[in-house]
Amino acid sequence: MRNCPSFSRLTTHRTVHSPRTRLCLCRRRLISSSPSTHATAAAPNTESTASALEPPPAGGHLPSIASSALLKNTREQALKTPGILWADAELDEARGTSSLSSTTAGRETRKMNTYQAIRDALSIALSTDDSAIVFGEDVAFGGVFRCTLGLAEEYGRERVFNTPLTEQGVVGFGIGYASMGSKLGDSTLGGRGMGGTAIAEVQFADYIWPAFDQLLNEASKFRYRSGGRFNVGGLTVRCPTMAVGHGGLYHSQSPEGFFMGAGGLKVVIPRSPLQAKGLLLSSIRDPNPVVFMEPKILYRSAVEQVPISDYTLPLGHGEILTTGSDLTVVTYGTSVYRCEQAIHLLTHPPEGSGIEKTVKAALGDWRRNTGKSASSSPSIELIDLRTILPYDLPLILRSLSKTHRLLIVHEGPTTGGVGMQIAGEVVSGLSLTSSSSITREGSPSGEEENLAQMRKEAFLGLEAPVKVIGGWDTPGVALQYEKFYIPDEVRILDGLVELLAY
Amino acid sequence: MLRRASFAFRPNVVRRIASLSTHSLGRLPNTQSPIVSKPHFFNSVTGDSSEQIPAFRLLDGTGVPIDGAELPDLDEAFARKLYEHMQLLPNLDNILYNVQRQGKISFYMTAYGEEATIIGSAAALANDDEVLGQYREMGVLLWRGFGLDNVMAQCFGNHEDTSSKGRQMPVHFGSPKHHFHTISSPLATQIPQAAGVAYALRRSPERLNSVAACFFGEGAASEGDFHAGLLLASTIPSPVVFIVRNNGFAISTPSSEQYHGDGIASRGPGYGIDTVRVDGNDVLAVLAAVREARSRCLEQGRAVLVECMSYRVGHHSTSDDSFAYRARSEVEDRKRIDNPLVRFRLFMESRGWWDAQAEEELKTRLRADVLKAFKHAEVQSRWELSELFTDIYAGEEPWNIREQRNELSRLLKKYGKDWEPWKRELHKFKAEGNDLVKE
């Protein structure tokens, strides 16, 4: 056994309790063979021993995230998160009472990374809903990414359990369980007429395909095909997604594009710990089946202050992270941070570099074309889509009618992807003449919005083609080529300057 | 079917070898296997590779109990109920098959030849056991009082169709009231779902005496979902009675081309679950076997597998002509020699519970009932056209659904009065599409 490389690696992981050591116990072994990418942070003279003792983390590193202004570093920032809905405030409202619960006073936050925030959300779901069960491959011991750590001990093996290695089985089982919710006699759920709460884990989004039939032909159609008599609204399928630095073809995929035609299903991708907790609790409680994809590189890299109480964030609504007037960037998941960094590069290109030259030239064109003063610099509106299906087109159109330029960024393949879908939607103008009024909880001042009018304004106002920066249409993320597959900061920067100079 | 495995399983010998070797060699990891000194290949679950799994039967082809048969508790009223429901199926099938041929409904699937399997298991289950069917189990719903009007409404897809509001093809029934989960066309998807349904029952104090009953054919058992479902229901575990209707055909593919092993039953022990093979054309055997399966299932809280051996006398569906792949004479022979209805009727007659007059009266009554329901359903309109866009999401309606409904509404206003294909179609809907136009 001593000579078995995988065994010694596991031993190393279990015996060396370094905070930087991560669990690599996933069944399709996710261990990088390329120390150079990740060992650069370590001192050069310790590199050989350090990499032997501490292989790169399964969750990977994301360098730009440490400096991100998008993460909430203080309690005050965290509590002021837009759209946050405190569960106790909701209860107060239902009871017609008012208390301090609707304010932020007395609320606490704790520093969490993404897997801890997800674990926190799962724990709240389990403690507030007796019908809730959490299950999947390797879930009982804590999960290969630690998202279910300690839950089996806390809530018992009846509610937090391992399943055999069958994704179609895991999701099918969840559908069956969720379909029974209204009959469980649980007043907290039965009264809402939604299913039992089944929180399934598919170990990697790359392995969701055996369950695609269950998700597309069963979960998404369950309510529709039964004339509303049955539903699986209680189903949430969690899966780690996106690239991680060393995941190769089968630990890096972003399959959300394949779900775009699955009406009846929701797809949600959070960008940070605070967002993950609120959006996961919303997904679990939403009366529709949800596929919740967690960018795995953020499990450890993203750390922020997260409120410890029970709260949700709205599904179906994107969020404007930075407001701007000259270009709209729409993205989600890991790419949010790369976009943030690219926008920073636009105003702070490395001095004396070729990049600085490119940016200066492009901004010169932009100023000439738009009649801006020599000192002005473009302001970019950054939108995190958060819910991928159904996505927040009204928010994008509102932004676009102000900025007139649109860039969409994601890791998943470009053809048939979310970016092309949105780009197509922006220029297709479904109802050219009819007035499609929509009222949404999240629309400004809650008034009716005329979608056709918004489409028209956005389309006629376009100053440049819509640009999509996605992964290439290769059959996956090739291991040693990842740097050139993933839309990184410089590709996004290039998209920004191209659009501005157009 | 002879198997070539050369080592028969001989427990005594094996035990002796094991006890001698345990001390010196110990046990292998993850198994309690006895250690043996010769390679023990095996290819049988009966222990004798020349013998297939036995099939449980109570009545012979003429309705006479076979030697050693212990008949289940059965009084005249219950026997009559069984027989009447078995007879209802072909009577309903005859009419709906012809109705489809006349173009009045789009599709239909008969249950000819499988009456005993379907009604026998329906009768063995409690009426609130959760049923997840494949598509040929309408008899279970009828047994539970779903009624002919509901059957017709679904097949016609009219506004009385509460199974799917006319969204699904005929025979895709569903009813929460009758604990019958909506049928969907993809094969075997219901099998892992049954494990989840049963797990919900197990976790629900007021449902501890219920099981999930999951039906599927021998063809569907080739799908990955079959293996996933049995594995989960045995491992997690969950109380599911899996009922295989092995009717010999998956559309045209005979079971001999569907599997090489000893049917579906041989797979049960692979998942560590109690399994029985039963003569699916003997309603009393099916009744007894499923009753026993159900009680084991409740007792162990784990899946049980019942394989009912039958023969699909009818075509796969109205889209199929089975004489393209099997001889008419084979079907006629099966109908004659191994008819589940005749067999049980002869049994009833031998008890003095049935005679020619009762038979005539029943057929007349059933035919009248079916025709009445058919005539009612035939003239009903469909649901409102706006139902095209409902039941997609609960809660807030997404912009795309609303926008697309508005778009259809706009198009209807613009072309609905002039475009003949739409005009003709709109008349079939309740409100003739005006519910959308008004929006």
Q: Tell me which of B204 and B19 has the higher pLDDT.
A: B204
Catalytic residue among A13, A38, A61, A251: A251
Q: Are B410 and A433 within 8 A, CB to CB? A: yes
Residues B232 and B192 sit within 8 Å (Cβ to Cβ): yes
Catalytic annotation present for A13: no
DSSP assignment string, B355-371? -HHHHHHHHHHHHHHHH
A477: helix, coil or strand?
coil
Q: In this structure, what token pair is assigned to residue B64?
A: 């006479």
* Chain A residues close to B184, C-beta within 8 Å: 217-218, 221, 225
Q: What is the pLDDT of residues B76-132, one digit of tens each?
A: 999 999 999 999 999 999 999 999 999 999 999 999 999 999 999 999 999 999 999
CA distance A342 to A320: 16
Query: Residue A440: pLDDT band by 50, 70, 90 thresholds?
Result: low
Whether residue B73 has pLDDT greater than 80: yes
Average pLDDT score over residue span A351-362 = 95
Lowest mean pLDDT among A150-164, A236-250, B160-174, B324-338: B324-338
- Start-to-end CA distance of chain B, whole Å, equals 67
Whether residue A415 has pLDDT greater than 60: yes
Task: Return the pLDDT at A2.
Answer: 37
Task: Return the pLDDT at B115.
Answer: 97
Q: Is A217 at the interface with chain B, CB within 8 A?
A: yes
- Taking residue A473's Cβ as centre, other Cβ atoms within 10 Å add up to 10
pTM score: 0.90
* Chain B residues close to A133, C-beta within 8 Å: 199, 203
- φ, ψ for residue A433 (rounded to 5)? -115, -30
Strands (E), A333-480: 380-384, 387-389, 406-413, 437-438, 449-450, 467-471
Q: Which range, A97-101, A114-118, A189-193, B397-401, has the best average confidence (pLDDT)?
A: A114-118
Cα A160–Cα A165–Cα A168 angle in degrees, nearest 5: 90
Lowest mean pLDDT among A217-221, B22-26, B381-385, B401-405: B22-26
Q: What is the pLDDT of residues B40-62, one digit of tens each?
A: 999 999 988 889 999 999 999 99
Task: Return the pLDDT at A8.
Answer: 35
Task: Return the pLDDT at A182.
Answer: 57
The chain-wide mean pLDDT, for chain B, equals 93
Task: Return the pLDDT at B27.
Answer: 82
Q: What is the pLDDT of residues B169-202, one digit of tens each?
A: 999 999 999 999 999 999 999 999 999 999 999 9
Q: What residues 419-448 of chain A have any CB closer than 8 A to a CB of chain B?
A: 430-431, 433-434, 436, 438, 440-441
Which of A436, A441, A453 is the best residue to mutate to test the B interface, defined by the most B CB atoms within 10 Å of its own CB? A436
Q: Are A218 and B163 within 8 A, CB to CB? A: no
Cα B40–Cα B44–Cα B46 angle in degrees, nearest 5: 110
Q: What is the nearest CA distance from A350 to chain B, expressed in angstroms?
A: 43
Closest CA to A226 of B148, B186, B395, B166: B166
Residues A201 and A133 sit within 8 Å (Cβ to Cβ): no
CA distance B226 to B234: 12
Q: What percent of chain B has pLDDT over 70?
A: 94
Q: What is the pLDDT of residues A359-412, one digit of tens each?
A: 999 999 999 999 999 999 999 999 999 999 999 999 999 999 999 999 999 999
Which of B150, B161, B383, B403 is the best residue to mutate to test the A interface, defined by the most A CB atoms within 10 Å of its own CB? B403
Cα A159–Cα A163–Cα A166 angle in degrees, nearest 5: 145
CA distance A148 to A140: 7
Q: Are A230 and B163 within 8 A, CB to CB? A: no
Task: Return the pLDDT at B301.
Answer: 96
Whether residue A433 has pLDDT greater than 90: no
Q: What is the pLDDT of residues A31-61, one digit of tens each?
A: 333 333 333 333 344 344 444 455 556 666 6
Handedness of CA B384, B388, B392, B396 (dihedral sign): negative
Q: In this structure, what token pair is assigned to residue A29?
A: 């072994």
Distance of CA A400 to the CA centre of its chain: 22
- Taking residue A287's Cβ as centre, other Cβ atoms within 10 Å add up to 16
Task: Return the pLDDT at A90.
Answer: 73
Phi-psi region of A245 (alpha: psi -120 to 50; beta: other; left: phi over 0): left
Q: What is the pLDDT of residues B387-419, one digit of tens each?
A: 999 999 999 999 999 999 999 999 999 999 999
Residues B110 and B311 sit within 8 Å (Cβ to Cβ): no
Between the alpha carbon of residue A140 and those of residues A137, A149, A235, the distances in Å are 8, 8, 19
Q: What is the pLDDT of residues B367-380, one digit of tens each?
A: 999 999 999 999 99
Q: What is the pLDDT of residues A477-496, one digit of tens each?
A: 999 999 999 999 999 999 99
DSSP assignment string, A130-141? TT-EEEETTTTT
Whether residue B24 has pLDDT greater than 60: no
Cα A81–Cα A447–Cα A430 angle in degrees, nearest 5: 100
Average pLDDT score over residue span B324-350 = 93
**Interface predicted TM-score (ipTM):** 0.93
* Total number of residues shown for chain B: 439
* Chain B residues close to A227, C-beta within 8 Å: 161-165, 167, 391
**Residue A368 exposed, middle or buried by CB count within 10 Å (0-12, 13-18, 19+):** exposed
Average pLDDT score over residue span A408-427 = 96
Q: What is the nearest CA distance from A24 to chain B, expressed in angstroms?
A: 23
What is the 3-state secondary structure of B109-169? CCCCCCHHHHHHHHHHCCCCCEEECCCCCHHHHHHCCCCHHHHHHHHHCCCCCCCCCCCCC
Average pLDDT score over residue span B209-232 = 97
Residue A436: which of B132, B168, B402 has the nearest Cβ? B402
DSSP assignment string, A42-70? S-GGGHHHHHHHSPPPTT---GGGGG-TT
- Rg, Å, chain A Cα set: 23
User: CB within 8 A of A206, min separation 6: which ones?
Assistant: A249, A250, A251, A252, A253, A255
Residue with tokens 């029970």: A310
Q: What is the pLDDT of residues A256-296, one digit of tens each?
A: 999 999 999 999 999 999 999 999 999 999 999 999 999 99
Task: Return the pLDDT at A66.
Answer: 80
Task: Return the pLDDT at A104.
Answer: 72
Catalytic annotation present for A108: no
Closest CA to B173 of B197, B193, B157, B195: B157
- Which residue is closest to A452 within chain B, CA to CA? B403
Task: Return the pLDDT at A136.
Answer: 98
Task: Return the pLDDT at B336.
Answer: 87
CA distance A385 to A389: 10
Buried b (16+ CB within 10 A) or exposed e, B349-379: eeeebbeeebbeebeeebeebbeebbebbee
Size of interface A-B (CB pairs under 8 A): 195
Handedness of CA B46, B48, B50, B56 (dihedral sign): negative
Task: Return the pLDDT at B4.
Answer: 42
Query: Residue B317: pLDDT band by 50, 70, 90 thresholds?
Result: very high
CA distance B230 to A360: 64
Query: Residue A19: pLDDT band by 50, 70, 90 thresholds?
Result: very low
Give chain A's domains with CATH numbers. Answer: 56-105+112-312 (3.40.50.970), 319-501 (3.40.50.920)
* Chain B residues close to A218, C-beta within 8 Å: 184, 186, 189, 193
Whether residue B324 has pLDDT greater than 60: yes
